[in-house]
Structure 1
Amino acid sequence: MNFYITSGTIDYLTKLKNKHPGENMLLLTESEDEFSAVILHETSSNTLFNHPRKYEVIDSLGSFEKATFVVMNNIPVTDEGKPLFEYQFTNRQRKIEHQPGFVAIRVLRPQSSNTYVILTLWENKQAFVNWKSSDSFLKAHKKNEGSSGAKSAAIFAGPSYLTTYSIAQEE
């Protein structure tokens, strides 16, 4: 499955989405700037976007319905670290999938950069906040220690960072 992300103004992206109602697209506004937006396009074919960020879905659960809050965990990974990173993510404990308010997850492999995106969709922002303060979150994000920690650190090309969005309210 292919996954594309592009950004623009809310007006432009709303028109783009409305022009293609049969496509699986999700229009998001940035939490900090309601005029700036991104649109997600999940498809088995090519995208309709002119200049998207391109990804391949390597793990997936759930659908976009019921979501109002979206979190993208952007994780830069070295070329050498990509196989280990993907192995770890596809063999994780999957505790997030049982968290109240969880809607969907996509693990996205970049096609033209080194930054993977772990996209999670939530019923609301509070459900994500609750997940971040849960024991399951702490266990899932526990840092490896000792020699395995040094080996694990070598797979990352830089620090990860979160971006958060709300589902755009269409008129």
Structure 2
Amino acid sequence: MSRPPGWIAMNAGEFFEFSIAHDRKYSLDHLWLQLLDDKEEEMTVKIGISEFIRAEYGEIVRVVLTKPEDDSEFQIEIEDSEDEDEDDTPRKNTNSGDELDVDDILMTIRTVDEMLLINAPFPCKILGLNGDVEDNPDLVNEEAYGDGWCVMVRPHDWDEDMFLNEQEYIEYLNEV
């Protein structure tokens, strides 16, 4: 799923090792995007935080995911049920969840020294939240491309060419 760790030069000779998953797209805000279902009516994208955020800003100590205003039918996935599915797809109701635009906050990330507000990378409908990352932010630090995913959405305007592939993302990181 993820490639061997790479080294990226940070500030004045500092280096930080982290992985980049090869089967994802990346935003300039360091979100990873994994297309799970590409059927137009049921398109589903899983969103998480690139390991670069930890490299740039330090250990993530808190993750706050956006919550739907009307959560009467909305479910947050927390892995403590015995009848857990084999995959990590949250239970979802396609008639529920809030709509987000690109100016809307998708999540808030707090590191030891910084607070980052991360907007939705495209207009979308929230399908599910990974509540485990709010309860245990170490998942984002240790399993960013696995159990550390944050949000499942249905995009309204998905164009994967607007996002970077693995190699383009590495080139972008070397420039910033």
TM band (smaller chain): under 0.3
The structure carrying a bigger helix percent of its residues is 1
The structure carrying a bigger strand percent of its residues is 1
TM-score, normalization: structure 2? Answer: 0.25
